[in-house]
Structure 1
Amino acid sequence: MERSAALDHIFWHALAGAHRRHSSGTDTARRYTQGFSPIIAFADPARPDFAALAPWCEPGERFYCENWTGAAPPGWRIEAETTMFRMLWDGAAPVADPAPEAVPLRPEHAQQALELATLCKPGPFGIRTIELGDYFGLFDGERLMAMAGERLRAPGLCEISGVCTHPDYQGRGLAKRLIGKLLRLHQQRGDRSFLHVMRSNPAHQLYLDMGFKDYLESTARVVVAD
């Protein structure tokens, strides 16, 4: 599979590029501003500049960080570590919208989206995460059954993220339909779709079956500012 410098280092490219207005930090280390997804990234993950990041972090804050190994510097501790797959779409997007009834999620839906993410744990998610891109939800009356949306981006690339379905509505293919909707949207924009999934998540096989391919596997950590 052809390599992409932006996709290889997508968290930094998003925080320092398309989402710079939603982030805080320096030219060597950045984080999403409080309220967005609790993610940090470094210009050089081989030499993470935690000292530059410290002024924008509060004691006790938890962050997700990828592609960094080694001991935690003073003032930080590693709470969890695993690996995750970055998967790149390698199929044909749906010709027709598979979820035409999906509702664009707006600020008035933010609390419901956060509650669903807290229940389903699709990855780092904040009350303002749905502002990072187009998010769509499927509703049963006023109840949010499932959602999916966009997070990281770089020129020609857009991530599908926040994919989750309430346990009461699983097994109906709702998330798959929302992913298809986003794939079609990205194709229309000329973007290549990608996503992340933890190694232990059984959804990895589902994404392979859908047409995503493993692009790389990287270290994923949860770190805490002490």
Structure 2
Amino acid sequence: MNSLEEKLKNPVWYSLQETHKKFLIEYDGVQFYNPEINNFGAFFNAEKTPGALTQYAEKADKFFLVSEDGVPNINTDTTILEKKIDGCQMVLENLTEVTITEELVLLTEKHINEVYDLIWLVMPGFYQKRGFEMGKFFGIFKDNKLVAISGQRMQTDDFIEISSVVTHPNYTKRGYAKQLIYHTSKDIIKENKLPMLHTNKGNLAIPLYEKLGFKLSRDMNWWLFSKK
């Protein structure tokens, strides 16, 4: 049995081995999400990645391999490495208490289009509409529209990743993200799992995460590919 620490080092891999196994597409030992759900993949053996990337590129226009420190190999005749995003992983150490002043709503399938539209407005390109199936999403509504979200993405038997934390540009600086992250974290803790998240290095949101009790744990890098 793999430890929590081992799973955190390769979160995409173990999510697809456990909670998200139904979304798994595998090519010669390299694992990917069904691209209708998510466009992440993971590997252990970089010798396997050139052929796997070539095959997955037939299903997804743009996609990622996620790795702490592994460097994937590619077939430059079939695959383009567009960029490497330097990210980091944060795990919850001690959740800081937050006063909830807003109504936090558990979102349902009837909100899928609103979730998709808000995420693409704030963070275009990194979310598939069926990503809603990966976990719970909570939201805040103002003026009869969804203006802030916190969701769940990768997850195993031991951890759940907080993701899709977005606020409409017209409703920022009101503490919505803080309340949603806190609420989502408490919900994860109720399942006896560890809240964790990923972000870009230098993200201005990192101090907020740290105030809520998250700590930086490791680098976690995204290699962005497309079909040649």
Structure 1 segment 135-174 matched on structure 2, within 5 A: 135-174=137-176
Alpha-carbon distance, 1:219 to partner: 2.5
CA 198–135 in structure 1, closer or farther in 2 if over 3 Å, else same: same
> Unpaired runs of 5+ in structure 2?
none
Alpha-carbon distance, 1:15 to partner: 1.9
Contact 1:14/1:152, CA 8 A, preserved across alignment: yes
Alignment RMSD? 2.4
Residue 37 of structure 1 aligns with which residue?
Answer: 38
How does the TM-score come out when normalised to structure 1? 0.88
Residue 189 of structure 1 aligns with which residue?
Answer: 191
Alpha-carbon distance, 1:204 to partner: 1.5
Residue 87 of structure 2 aligns with which residue?
Answer: 84
CA 26–117 in structure 1, closer or farther in 2 if over 3 Å, else same: same
Residue 18 of structure 2 aligns with which residue?
Answer: 17
For the pair 1:64 / 2:64, whether they are aligned, the reply is yes
Q: Which stretch has the larger CA shift, 184-193 or 27-36?
A: 27-36
Alpha-carbon distance, 1:95 to partner: 8.4
CA 70–8 in structure 1, closer or farther in 2 if over 3 Å, else same: closer
Aligned partner of 1:112: which letter?
Answer: E
For the pair 1:216 / 2:218, whether they are aligned, the reply is yes
Alpha-carbon distance, 1:112 to partner: 1.2
Alpha-carbon distance, 1:40 to partner: 1.5
1:18 is paired with a residue of what secondary structure?
A: coil
Alpha-carbon distance, 1:224 to partner: 0.8
User: What count of residue pairs does the alignment treat as equivalent?
Assistant: 223
Alpha-carbon distance, 1:156 to partner: 1.6
2:216 is paired with a residue of what secondary structure?
A: strand
CA 99–16 in structure 1, closer or farther in 2 if over 3 Å, else same: farther
Contact 2:35/2:59, CA 8 A, preserved across alignment: no
CA 14–50 in structure 1, closer or farther in 2 if over 3 Å, else same: farther
Aligned partner of 1:52: which letter?
Answer: A
CA deviation map 1:82-110 (0-9, x unaligned): 211100001136488x3772222222211
Q: Which stretch has the larger CA shift, 104-113 or 87-96?
A: 87-96
Determine the C-alpha separation between the residues in 1 that align with 2:87 and 2:101.
28
Alpha-carbon distance, 1:45 to partner: 5.0
| % identity of equivalent residues | 26
